[in-house]
Amino acid sequence: MAEALQEVWIRGGKTAARVTADVCAPIERGPTALWYGAFAASVSVFLVGACAMAYTLSTGIGTWGLNRTVGWAFDITNFVFWIGIGHAGTLISAILFLFRQKWRTSVNRAAEAMTLFAVMCAGIFPLLHMGRPWFAYWVLPYPNTRGSLWVSFASPLLWDVFAISTYFVISAVFWYIGLIPDLATIRDRAKSETRRRIFGFFSLGWTGSARVWSHYEKAYLLLAGLATPLVVSVHTIVSFDFATSVIPGWHATIFPPYFVAGAIFSGMSMVLTLMIVARSVMGLEDYITDRHVDVMCRIILAVSCMVGLAYASEFFIAWYSGNPYERFVFVNRQMGPMAWAYWTMVSCNVITPQIFWFKSMRAKIGLVFAASLVINVGMWFERFVIIVTSLHRDFLPSSWVSYAPTSIEVATFAGSFGLFFTLFLLFCRFLPAIAMAEVKGILQPDLHGHGGAS
Amino acid sequence: MSRTLFAASFAREADILAAAAEVRRRGYTISDAYVPYPVHGLDEAMGLAPSRMGWACFLFGAPALVAALSFQGWVAAVDWPINIGGKPFFFWQAFIPVGFEFTVLCAGLGTVATLLLTQGLLPGRRRAVPDMGATDDRFVLVLVKSGTAFDAGEAMAVLRDCRVVETREFLEGAA
Amino acid sequence: MPARLASVPGETRDIVRETTISEHRKDPSSGNEPQRKHQSVWPEHVYEGHRWGMAVDLGACTGCSACVVSCQAENNVPVVGKDEVGRKRDMSWLRIDRYYADRDGDTDVVFQPMMCQQCGNAPCETVCPVLATMHSTEGLNQQIYNRCVGTRYCANNCPYKTRRFNWFQYQEEGRLSNLALNPDVTVRMRGVMEKCTFCIQRIQEAKFEAKGQGRAVRDGDIRPACAQSCPAQAIVFGDVNDPKSRVSQLRKDPRHYRVLAELNVEPSVGYMVKVRGRTAGAGGPEHG
């Protein structure tokens, strides 16, 4: 009877030893042909993007489709897109930890890794979009012989510098700390000397000591408690890039919650995209079960409704305000020359996830996978619409322009996906994709070491 | 000054909890336990005091906040005041985002550094106890043998009652 | 040519303002709407000494663009070529905006020279992360070329869109045409933002000249290139802190207004309502 009341997240009556064996198997058996194929493809895409980036660096931002009115387009859209994706990892790791959601243990390791890689991809764009990126270090406040000439703490871009770097460092540290017990597990199983040495080095002598676990648990809780406001603050600060400006369509107090909700939305969709593929390729369906997929779909549905509400609020308030410039921005979004982008955004973000109201839809994994891709397309367009449609037609009509990307911008964007998937494939190859120690902790308590139904 | 230790490994969480509580009740000294994941109730069974890691977090975070806000204020209003957008020189509201981020950064890194340094988790550290499967699926309880009133017969009886799987005796520090 | 400026029914943007001579005679402020004194949440900076400002008479401007050409010559503004201009990457620091109104089959036009408005509460200054743009003690919005890293946030935030970015390395060494460059003005490299500076090199020159002669700068000593070359003298530059200067007089004129003043950016450039020499057919619900 007690079993029926307990949540059943891990299928197949797994024992702790089984967990170790299942999760270490993909690492220990070596890369498959499928892995090599995927790796080759993603590295190639990344190299194409790298060439495009090199061309931009050597020749100038003029190689992009930007102009005197639209100063940001693909560059900052991509930046916000990738940062947003990263936020789901921290949500799963930190926020769901604080809410004691046991199901997070199957996906948190991979999701946190996704966060790190997404932030790395995001970080390319603020550097690359600068006209003189070789001076990018000027955004750091360091004493110098020019006064000292410091930085402008009034600027939201500067807040971004601190926010993104803090987010990357704390996410990396949180991820690594979580990895330590699992690295020790691999070290203790390692058959080859090299593997034992490398994992031995990075596992910092971990033995599973209960005394250390006690402090470790506290530190983990503290990091989760720090990471939670951090993730909210980081995307809030990113939203301030727009909210603190004067441009209609940007100057909106709704942006902080709107962006954070959108980040969770796109990030969770990317987690689904990655997990649905990874679990079947790596044989981890007993750990990342259809129930996990179901829960993530429900989160996505909830956030989709929030995002839809945000779209509606913006539109209503623009009308209600009576401000002609504000009203025009929204009419322009829906009916102007870039309306196709707006309607793509709405159909992908608001309409598509509504299928998740139905359990039968959430159970069709192929459909869920397709929906997750569609949602990320929609979320990219959301940032594109915010940035480009607000800029291209603002106060003075003499400055109104159209915008179209060049192949260089598209290649750079594709290259960032190449980088992301390359890093993720490396992660799956060399590191445990599931947090073994945490999963072991949620197996049925009275069935450890035995087996039986779970 | 290496102590002789006596390790007993169990296959189940409940077993090590029972064993730890019982041996402590009988006056044995527990050196440590080694488990694949944090076991609820083990800290109490072993008599461990709660971690004070929270203090480390606060002691790194609070000064960081003060430092970040002061530095920004000094830069903007004292060292080289510049009229930016008509704002007053001390535009303190804008200091909040960077102040918050720097606080989180220092609190987080400080907590982790405290954890690693106080618990001796450093790169290349060798394990101090033999591998008995504690990182896989075994729960290992280690008692101090030398220098205590260690009755091997009584200890083994208690441990067998708790379904001990394997025992081993070794010198501390020799993995 | 769009008949109305507005694309949404009922929307008007009163960027240019006009009236007729008959209306103007009845009420000198006709065509103009009073602009509320801007609200501030903090104590304002005080500008002792000079405070530079400009007034542009829409009635006098014929759209000849001599100002645009002289600005380009004076400030080493690069010539980017037809392709780049086609991609909307022209570099003019000063442009002439044209607003059309269709009236009974005739088309009326208002020309509005638009340059950096040197805003007191400049939205561009706030967003630059590296302090490449800030406000001088004489009310100028300064652009520090050698500090600019080219994030383009300032240009995005400018409501007047008067900032220009060097998308490529437009200027090259070794060209014969470099002999025509003004040695008093920096040549900007790629990746750097630039904009109207109120011809700061001329301001500085006049101030040094006056200091050398032991006198104050007189109204009319400083003429930016645009003001100097305008055949209709539509552009007036001067010290707003000097109550006797021409620009101060124009500010008190009931025809004076500022573009997008409701944004509270405090532009230093003002415009004078265009007065058409006809008795009917101008002004009304369409402000252009």
Asked if A130 contacts C193 with a C-beta cutoff of 8 angstroms, the reply is no
CB < 8 Å to A153, chain B: 72, 75-76, 91, 94-95, 98
Q: Is the pLDDT of residue A115 over 80?
A: yes
Quote helix, strand, coil % in chain A, to nearest 5: 75, 0, 25
**Contact between chains at C160 and A130 (C-beta distance less than 8 A):** no
Give the max Cα distance, chain C: 61
Q: Which tokens is B21 given?
A: 């509580």
Contacts of C172 (CB under 8 A, 6+ apart): none
Distance CA B72, CA B77 (A): 8
**Contact between chains at A72 and C156 (C-beta distance less than 8 A):** yes
Q: What are phi and psi of C174, to 5 degrees?
A: 85, 0
| Percent of all residues in chain B with a pLDDT value above 90, rounded to a whole number | 72
DSSP secondary structure letter of residue A209: B
Range of the domain at C100: 18-276
The beta strands (E) that lie in C40-184 are given as 52-57, 95-103, 106-114, 133-135, 141-143, 164-165
Among the partner-chain residues B14, B95, B108, the one whose CB lies closest to the CB of A173 is: B108
Distance CA A383, CA A73 (A): 9
Domain membership flag for residue C203? yes
Interface test with chain B among C38, C39, C45, by most B beta carbons within 10 Å: C45
Residue with the two structure tokens 């915008």: A403
* d(CA C216, nearest CA chain A) in Å: 30
Domain membership flag for residue C60? yes
Q: Which tokens is A143 given?
A: 């004493």
**Contact between chains at C134 and B82 (C-beta distance less than 8 A):** yes
Distance CA C155, CA A72 (A): 10
Domain membership flag for residue C107? yes
pLDDT of A1 reads 40
Interface test with chain A among B95, B98, B164, B170, by most A beta carbons within 10 Å: B98
Length of chain C in terms of residues written: 288
Helix (H, G, I), strand (E, B) or coil at A386: helix
pLDDT of A6 reads 46
Closest CA to C1 of C288, C279, C203: C288
Pick A384 or B1 by higher pLDDT.
A384
CB < 8 Å to B80, chain A: 147-150
pLDDT of B2 reads 80
Distance CA A77, CA A383 (A): 5
Q: Which tokens is A81 given?
A: 């897109």
Q: Does A247 touch chain C (CB under 8 A)?
A: yes
Residue with the two structure tokens 């809410």: A99
Domain membership flag for residue C77? yes
Length of chain B in terms of residues written: 175
**Contact between chains at A233 and B75 (C-beta distance less than 8 A):** no
Distance CA C170, CA A62 (A): 11
Give the max Cα distance, chain A: 76
Average pLDDT estimate for A102-131: 96
Q: Does B85 touch chain C (CB under 8 A)?
A: yes
Asked if A420 contacts A43 with a C-beta cutoff of 8 angstroms, the reply is no
Interface test with chain C among B84, B90, B92, B98, by most C beta carbons within 10 Å: B84
Domain membership flag for residue C48? yes
CB < 8 Å to A90, chain B: none
Q: Does C42 touch chain B (CB under 8 A)?
A: yes
Q: Tens digit of pLDDT for each residue in B86-127?
A: 999 999 999 999 999 999 999 999 999 999 999 999 987 777
Closest CA to A426 of A8, A3, A132, A39: A39
CB < 8 Å to B84, chain C: 125-126, 131, 134-135
How many C-beta atoms lie closer than 10 Å to residue B157's C-beta?
Answer: 10
Average pLDDT estimate for C250-277: 94
**Contact between chains at B123 and A201 (C-beta distance less than 8 A):** yes
**Contact between chains at B111 and A181 (C-beta distance less than 8 A):** no
When pLDDT is cut at 50, 70 and 90, the band that residue B175 belongs to is low
Q: Tens digit of pLDDT for each residue in A399-408?
A: 999 999 999 9
Residue A309, judged by CB atoms within 10 A of its CB (0-12, 13-18, 19+), counts as middle
Q: Which tokens is C171 given?
A: 């200027």
Buried b (16+ CB within 10 A) or exposed e, A270-298: bbbbbbbebbeebebebbbbebbbebbbe
Distance CA A345, CA B166 (A): 61
Give the max Cα distance, chain B: 83
Q: Is the pLDDT of residue A451 over 50?
A: no
Pairing of strands C193-194, B139-144: unpaired
User: What ipTM was assigned to the predicted interfaces of this complex?
Assistant: 0.94
**Contact between chains at B86 and C45 (C-beta distance less than 8 A):** yes
Among the partner-chain residues C135, C136, C137, the one whose CB lies closest to the CB of B86 is: C135
Q: Is the pLDDT of residue A304 over 60?
A: yes
* d(CA B85, nearest CA chain C) in Å: 4
Angle at which helix A290-321 crosses helix A324-335, to 10 degrees, equals: 130
Tell me, what CATH number does C187's domain have? Answer: 3.30.70.20
Distance CA B77, CA B71 (A): 10
Average pLDDT estimate for A380-384: 97
Most trustworthy range by pLDDT among B11-20, B149-158, C159-168: C159-168
Q: Tens digit of pLDDT for each residue in A177-226?
A: 999 999 999 999 999 999 999 999 999 999 999 999 999 999 999 999 99
* d(CA C103, nearest CA chain B) in Å: 41
Q: What DSSP assignment string belongs to A393-416?
A: S-S-GGG-------HHHHHHHHHH
Q: Does A136 touch chain C (CB under 8 A)?
A: yes
Q: What DSSP assignment string belongs to A229-281?
A: HHHHHHHHHHHHHHHTS-STTT--TTHHHHHHHHHHHHHHHHHHHHHHHHHHH
Q: Does B93 touch chain C (CB under 8 A)?
A: no
Q: Is the pLDDT of residue B153 over 90?
A: no
Q: Does C221 touch chain B (CB under 8 A)?
A: no
* d(CA C109, nearest CA chain A) in Å: 13
Distance CA B15, CA A449 (A): 11
How many C-beta atoms lie closer than 10 Å to residue A337's C-beta?
Answer: 13
Q: What DSSP assignment string belongs to B79-110?
A: IS--B-TT--S--GGGHHHHHHHHHHHHHHHH
pLDDT of C10 reads 62
Distance CA A338, CA A346 (A): 13
Instruction: Give me the residues paired with residue C99 across strands.
Output: C110
Domain membership flag for residue C9? no
Closest CA to A301 of A366, A367, A239, A372: A372
Domain membership flag for residue C6? no
Average pLDDT estimate for A287-294: 94
How many C-beta atoms lie closer than 10 Å to residue A47's C-beta?
Answer: 14
**Contact between chains at A324 and C149 (C-beta distance less than 8 A):** no
Average pLDDT estimate for A307-328: 94
Angle at B68 between CA B62 and CA B70, to 5 degrees: 100
Closest residue of B to A244, CA-based?
Answer: B94
Q: What is the mean pLDDT of chain A?
A: 93
Torsion of CA A369, A375, A377, A382, to 10 degrees: -170
pLDDT of C286 reads 42
**Contact between chains at A440 and B36 (C-beta distance less than 8 A):** yes
Q: What are phi and psi of A444, to 5 degrees?
A: -55, 125
Domain count, chain C: 1
Q: Does C44 touch chain B (CB under 8 A)?
A: yes
Torsion of CA C166, A79, A154, A150, to 10 degrees: -70
Q: Does C87 touch chain B (CB under 8 A)?
A: no
How many C-beta atoms lie closer than 10 Å to residue B60's C-beta?
Answer: 20
DSSP secondary structure letter of residue A29: S
Q: Tens digit of pLDDT for each residue in C121-156?
A: 999 999 999 999 999 999 999 999 999 999 999 999
Q: Tens digit of pLDDT for each residue in A152-176?
A: 999 999 999 999 999 999 999 999 9
Q: Tens digit of pLDDT for each residue in A33-47?
A: 999 999 999 999 999
Asked if A150 contacts B72 with a C-beta cutoff of 8 angstroms, the reply is no
pLDDT of B151 reads 85
Domain membership flag for residue C110? yes
Q: Could you give all domains of chain B from N- to C-terminal order, each with its CATH number?
A: 4-50+128-171 (3.30.70), 53-118 (no CATH)
Q: Which tokens is C168 given?
A: 């490529």
Closest residue of A to B91, CA-based?
Answer: A154
Closest CA to C16 of C106, C85, C111: C111
Closest residue of B to A166, CA-based?
Answer: B105
Distance CA A387, CA A250 (A): 8
* d(CA A363, nearest CA chain C) in Å: 45
**Contact between chains at B82 and C131 (C-beta distance less than 8 A):** yes
Closest CA to A346 of A389, A397, A317, A286: A389
Instruction: Give me the residues paired with residue C143 across strands.
Output: C133
HSE of A239, CA atoms in CB hemisphere, 13 A? 22
Q: Tens digit of pLDDT for each residue in A328-372?
A: 999 999 999 999 999 999 999 999 999 999 999 999 999 999 999
Q: Tens digit of pLDDT for each residue in C243-259?
A: 999 999 999 999 999 99
CB < 8 Å to C265, chain A: 246
- A419 residue type, one letter: L
pLDDT of C65 reads 96
Angle at A74 between CA A69 and CA A78, to 5 degrees: 135
How many C-beta atoms lie closer than 10 Å to residue A411's C-beta?
Answer: 20
**Contact between chains at B83 and C136 (C-beta distance less than 8 A):** yes
**Contact between chains at B85 and C122 (C-beta distance less than 8 A):** yes
Q: What are phi and psi of A246, to 5 degrees?
A: -100, -5
**Contact between chains at A246 and C114 (C-beta distance less than 8 A):** no
